[in-house]
Structure 1
Amino acid sequence: MSYLALSIALVFVLIPLFLSKTLHLGLEKDTLIATIRSIIQLFAVGYILQFIFEADSPLYILLMVMVMIGAATLNARKKGSVIKGITWKVAVTLIFIEVLTQGIILGFNITPRSAQYIIPLSGMVIGNSMVLAILFLNRFSAEIESRQDETELILSLGGTPKQAINTQLITSIKASMIPTIESQKTIGLVQLPGMMSGQIIGGADPIQAVQFQLLILFLLLTTAAVTSIMLGTLSYPSLFNQRMQMLRAR
């Protein structure tokens, strides 16, 4: 795509600006800021990735992955303010899922061991894991607050913290995983996934594009399950003190 074609594509920004102005939605400023930031951020990342791909150095790859994990952690932790130590819990979860998925991919030589494959796949895994963490923490925090009396009742009857919080955990894990599972049920029917579409537009064989997309879908299923379950397992003990009493939600 030429820069001229990209400039013409800005018409898709003018349309929401016009509608916002006409309907007095007041979203013009936010739309412009979002557009400008996306342009700057994506071009910056593009040049950084170009440098990393050309260097193909393990150190640069590791640094890029660490930056992605750090940014994802800072974003996801906001939804878990009621959970003590949520920052390191999210970070450990993201690191674990990254090591797990890349270990399998590289260990079995599913994709080449180059920055061109490692970084995009890591970005998809970490990004999806971040979204899953946000969904889980948002629902788990709400469940904790809304069912606190029920939890304390189970504890008073001799139940363990795990038994007392089990319903909230299961509900939150399922709620965070459902969007991933449901979206995969209609994949290829309702929409063509982004990676597959990008490869086809880039001239790749459609069947090869399908194979890579299936790899992504399988990765995201693992990410959904492991992220929610691991984060829940790490999080719930901090809701109780050493006497197995529930700490009041702040």
Structure 2
Amino acid sequence: MDLEWLLDFLKGMIKPVAATAVVLMAVLLSFVQKLGLEAEMVYSILRAFLQLSVIGFVLQFIFTQENIGWILLAYVFMVSVAGYTAGQRAKHVPRGKYIAGVSILAGTAVTMFLLVLLRVFPFTPRYIIPVAGMMVGNAMTVTGVTMKKLRDDVKLQMSLVETALALGATPRQATLQQVKRALVIALSPVLDNAKTVGLISLPGAMTGLIMGGASPLEAIQLQIVVMNMLIGASTVSSIMSTYLCWPAFFTKAYQLESKVFKAD
């Protein structure tokens, strides 16, 4: 990392700094409307500046190394943070962070393996890390919603589940409807986004390419790949999370684990 690159980076930050004018507008509106969000807005934008600046330097270093080890390290870090965040959403699910992390890892790893195997992306840091970041982010959201919704639905319908268990149903059979409902609710935003992509808004990857000088045709080709991989990774991760949740919801005697469903 030479001094010239650093100077170019600082010059490039002039426009992002200028763009904070719109944040100041939001802060002013919050103050006028007495929303009490001024401090949080300022904190959020400062944190975003710091995080993105740091990750920019980190990625610049990794891209120059061309080392598989750095790719795996970055990927494990992203999955770990995503698993923790998704587990926080489903905090009443026992071992929720572990379940979320394993689910996200499984969904994104399988999807990434297929993309590399089919030669959609070369296995280099410049391609794999951004692609993995998009998949992990979406899988995190979907997994967290799936786990929380599944636990909440089973809690609301404990009597139905217990009746099914008493009649000889397995935990999978007794909670099949709750699992389906949780998966549908979690995956619906991803599918809706795929249905309306390009009609309502231009996604980030496509917009970035167009603003970077690529032709719209090249941009849509990449965006199609991105939408496909997001659906694949999110679906695998969400389904995996339901399978891993079952042992936490039931005892070895196939009874509901009452302490999991106590009042929040």
The TM tier, using the shorter chain, reads over 0.9
Partner residue in 2 for 1:160:
170
Task: Find out whether 1:98 has 2:87 as its counterpart.
Answer: no
Identity rate, percent: 29
Asked whether 1:243 is paired with 2:257, we answer no
Post-superposition offset of 1:225: 1.5
What is the CA–CA distance in structure 2 between the aligned matches of 1:19 and 1:141, rounded to whole Å?
39
Find the aligned partners of 2:143 and 2:113 in 1 and give their Cα distance.
21
Aligned to 1:174: 184
2:231 partner SS: helix
- The Cα offsets for residues 172-230 of structure 1, whole Å up to 9 and x where unpaired, read as 01110111111111110100010000011011121111111100000011122211111
Tell me which residue corresponds to 2:146: 136
1:68 is the counterpart of 2:78? yes
Matching of residue 213 in structure 1 with residue 223 in structure 2: yes
- TM-superposed deviation, 1:48: 0.3
CA deviation after TM superposition for structure 1 residue 81, in Å: 3.1
- Contact preservation (8 Å) 1:73, 1:130: yes
User: For structure 1, which segment, 110-119 or 33-42, has the greater mean C-alpha deviation from structure 2 after superposition?
Assistant: 110-119
Contact 2:79-2:136 within 8 A present in 1 as well: yes
Structure 2 equivalent of residue 150 of structure 1: 160
**Equivalent of 1:5 in 15, 35, 41:** 15
TM (norm. structure 2) is 0.91
RMSD: 1.3
- State which of 58, 63, 70 in structure 2 corresponds to 1:53: 63
Q: For 1:99-125, what per-residue CA distance to the aligned partner results, in whole angstroms no more than 9, with x for missing partners?
A: 211211111211222100000000011
CA deviation vs aligned residue, 1:1-50 (integer Å, no higher than 9, x gap):
83332222111111110100101110000000001000000000011000
* Residue of structure 2 equivalent to 1:39: 49
**1:191 aligned counterpart, secondary structure:** coil
1:43 alignment partner AA: S
Amino acid at match of 2:195: K
8 Å contact kept, 1:133–1:228: yes
Q: Displaced runs of 4+ in structure 1, greater than 3 A?
A: none
Distance 1:160 1:47 in 2: 52
Instruction: Assess if the C-alpha contact under 8 Å between 1:176 and 1:224 holds in 2.
Output: no
Given residue 200 of structure 1, which amino acid in structure 2 is its aligned partner?
I
Distance 2:84 2:148 in 1: 15
Which runs of no fewer than 5 residues in structure 2 stay unpaired?
1-10
Using the TM superposition, name which of 103-112 and 179-188 deviates more: 103-112
Q: CA deviation at 1:158?
A: 2.2
Higher deviation after alignment, 140-149 or 172-181: 140-149
Structure 2 equivalent of residue 191 of structure 1: 201
Following the alignment from structure 1 to structure 2, what is the Cα–Cα distance between the partners of residues 25 and 58? 47
Which runs of 5 or more residues in structure 1 are unaligned?
none
Number of positions where the alignment pairs a residue of Structure 1 with one of Structure 2: 250
SS in 1 for 2:48: helix
Match of 2:94 in 1: 84
Superposed CA deviations along residues 41-72 of structure 1, whole A, max 9, x for unmatched, are 00000110000011111111111111101100
Tell me the residue number matched to 1:25.
35
* Partner Cα distance (1:83, 1:36) in 2: 33
Whether the 8 Å CA contact 2:90–2:145 is kept in 1: the answer is no
TM-score (norm 1): 0.96
Is the Cα–Cα contact under 8 Å of residues 180 and 221 in structure 1 kept in the other structure?
Answer: yes
